[in-house]
Amino acid sequence: MPIPTALDLTRDVVTLTADLCDIASVSTQERALADAVEAALLTLPHLDVIRDGNVVVARTELGRSERVVLAGHLDTVPLTDPPNIPVRRVDGTLVGRGTTDMKGGVAVQLALAARVPSPSRDVTFIFYDCEEIEEEFNGLKRIGEQQPDLLDAEFAVLLEPTNGGIEGGCKGTLRVDVVTKGISAHSARPWNGHNAIHDAGDVLARLTAYEPATVHVDGLDYHEALNAVGIRGGIAGNVIPDVCTVSVNYRFAPDKSAEEALAHVQQVFSGFDVTLGDCAIGARPGLDQPAAQAFVEALGLPVVAKEGWTDVARFAALDIPAVNFGPGDPNLAHTDDERCPEQQIEDALAALTRWLA
């Protein structure tokens, strides 16, 4: 049984980030960090703390007219060999696993929990596990399914890295297999068969000619994308292939349902067998909602569309508008030399303090 490492929430937020990073928490191995987070939050008398597996939830109960959620995941992708923790401070930058994705954001959550005991809105802080691996293990998903009242709020902020800007909502993602069928034959006598890989040329031609849309949703522009991400066919070097499968990924704006996204892809590949692999719908940013507008006004930062998919979609499924806002460049997430400017962590804390205090 690992002994929890103590977290001192009175330390400056950059040092707190380093302390969090130095507690290894690769996906499914978050217990030591969850224990430390829980222990630190239990010292704050203004919070009710709830533990569910390796998810820690802390809530104010001040009777405010509005409740907001601040959420962040505790896990990281695997460490390098040799390990890229403990983190290092180099010329105003924290370097090491988790600094960008996303323990800088988690440190901001903890600092806010300690420093703003009487926020202008009731706040639910959620620290969850297993975001970096298969959806079935995701702690936020589990809480949403088993205890959805813990997510209930007028607005949510996911502190994923956004380079210090605000990214509204997120795009949906869908994967299909487009299948062409032929007739197998000896490659020395191809006229006895029909080459399924050659037929895949039409699938690729349609992708090349495809013009992705830019869709305006709640004041933000989401750039859709349709791309081949894999191709499989053939069983031997002397056999004409009778089946070829092109895997296609569609990133779609959050104005579409899963059914609408699939129907669009089926239309693009009309005449081919199209089989759905997986699909996760996007999230509208809800910038027309008062809670979202107040957040944007308080931070005084421009808002752009989130071009990827994040767990803000889980809040959107509950009709809770949500945005992404956190320190760190997402392009550096998961890299061996993951790093985050210290100033971005401090600025994120200052911005959210303005909003809540």
Catalytic residues: 75, 131
Pairwise CA distance, residues 26 & 8, whole Å: 22
Do 169 and 316 form a contact (C-beta atoms < 8 A)? yes
Give the ranges where 300-341 is alpha helix by DSSP (H).
Answer: 312-316
Half-sphere exposure of 214 (CA within 13 A, CB side): 4
Residue among 295, 283, 296 at smallest CA distance from 222: 283
- Residue 103's identity, in one-letter code, is K
Question: What pairing do the DSSP bridges indicate for beta strands 122-128 and 67-73?
Answer: parallel
Do 221 and 214 form a contact (C-beta atoms < 8 A)? yes
**What single DSSP character describes residue 207?**
H
Do 122 and 291 form a contact (C-beta atoms < 8 A)? no
Pairwise CA distance, residues 237 & 239, whole Å: 6
Dihedral sign (CA 134, 14, 56, 85): positive
* Residue that is written with structure tokens 């066919």 in the block: 233
Helix axes 342-356, 103-115, angle to 10 degrees: 40
Pairwise CA distance, residues 125 & 251, whole Å: 30
Dihedral sign (CA 48, 25, 144, 332): positive
Do 221 and 268 form a contact (C-beta atoms < 8 A)? no
Pairwise CA distance, residues 286 & 99, whole Å: 29
Do 338 and 94 form a contact (C-beta atoms < 8 A)? no
- H or E element that contains 348: helix 342-356
